[in-house]
Amino acid sequence: MLHPAAAVALTRMRAAALAAGIDIAAASSFRDFETQRRIWNEKWTGRRPLYDGAGRRLVAARLRPAARVLAILTWSAPPGASRHHWGTDVDLYDRAALPAGATLELVPAEYGPAGPFAALSAWLDAHMTRFGFYRPYATDRGGVRPEPWHLSHYPTAREASRRLRLATLRAAIAAGELEGGAALLAALPGIYARFVRSVDPPPG
């Protein structure tokens, strides 16, 4: 599910990619607050894998609350702050290039020169802006690690980004029954600046 304008743009981009032999598929698109809350809580409690910035597995129970918050934020937004809430952002992979029997991991190595989605990544580099997409996490800005799979339809994402304010996010988290919510709220102003606002600017 996506915002109608983003869905139309993605459909057109997918058709163009198919002509080049690339079968674009969405691993994730719109994600509501409850889904993001479940991801957060499962990472906090260790029911879902938790990784450091280099992709090494962490043991959640061994981390102090503040460190656990930062570990989760390396790859996952807090509920209320995910760009996937807007219906403008999507995680993409090449369905035709996924090896038989392999599980999609959405890790940078899959999109690197030796990865199965290298051709997809190169095609997106060359063509995605024609359809209104860009990578908000293309570079390491000290917050979310680079995510070559994550594209944003920037014509529709601009307004959603403008409306997301610290006070709104604080209220959503406070009411959201999050594991580790107190530790997250204690550090929220810095998190908002580092992990929510520090993204690559759209083209133009």
Write the CATH number for 132: 3.30.1380.10
Q: What pLDDT score does 157 carry?
A: 97
Residue 129 lies in a domain: yes
Greater model confidence, 54 or 40 = 40
Close Cβ partners of 203 (under 8 Å, ≥ 6 residues apart): 129, 134, 154
- Domain span at residue 8 reads 4-196
Q: What Rg do the C-alpha atoms of the chain give, in angstroms?
A: 17
- Using 50, 70 and 90 to split pLDDT, how confident is the model at 55? confident
Average pLDDT (73-95) is 96
Residue 202 lies in a domain: no
Q: Which long-range contacts (CB under 8 A, 24 or more apart) does 14-23 make?
A: 16/127, 16/131, 17/120, 17/123, 17/127, 20/123, 21/96, 21/119, 22/94, 22/96, 22/97, 22/119, 22/120, 22/123, 23/94, 23/95, 23/96, 23/97
The 10s digit of each residue's pLDDT in 21-37 is: 999 999 999 999 999 99
Q: What pLDDT score does 6 carry?
A: 98
Q: Which long-range contacts (CB under 8 A, 24 or more apart) does 39-43 make?
A: 39/76, 40/72, 40/76, 40/78, 40/79, 40/178, 40/179, 40/180, 41/178, 41/179, 43/71, 43/72, 43/76
Residue 201 lies in a domain: no
Domain total in the chain? 1
- Using 50, 70 and 90 to split pLDDT, how confident is the model at 53? confident
- Using 50, 70 and 90 to split pLDDT, how confident is the model at 204? confident
Q: What pLDDT score does 3 carry?
A: 97
**Residue 52 scores a pLDDT above 90:** no
**Residue 56 scores a pLDDT above 90:** no
Please state, rounded to an integer, the average pLDDT across all residues of the chain.
Answer: 95
Residue 156 lies in a domain: yes
Average pLDDT (8-14) is 98
The 10s digit of each residue's pLDDT in 126-171 is: 999 999 999 999 999 998 889 999 999 999 999 999 999 999 999 9
Residue 203 lies in a domain: no
* Helices 65-73 + 33-45 axis angle, to 10: 130
What is the edge-to-edge ordering of all strands in the sheet holding 89-94?
24-28, 89-94, 150-153, 133-134
Residue 92 and residue 151 in contact, taking contact as beta carbons nearer than 8 Å: yes
- Using 50, 70 and 90 to split pLDDT, how confident is the model at 62? very high
Residue 74 lies in a domain: yes
Q: How far apart are the first and last CA of the chain?
A: 27
**Residue 54 scores a pLDDT above 90:** no
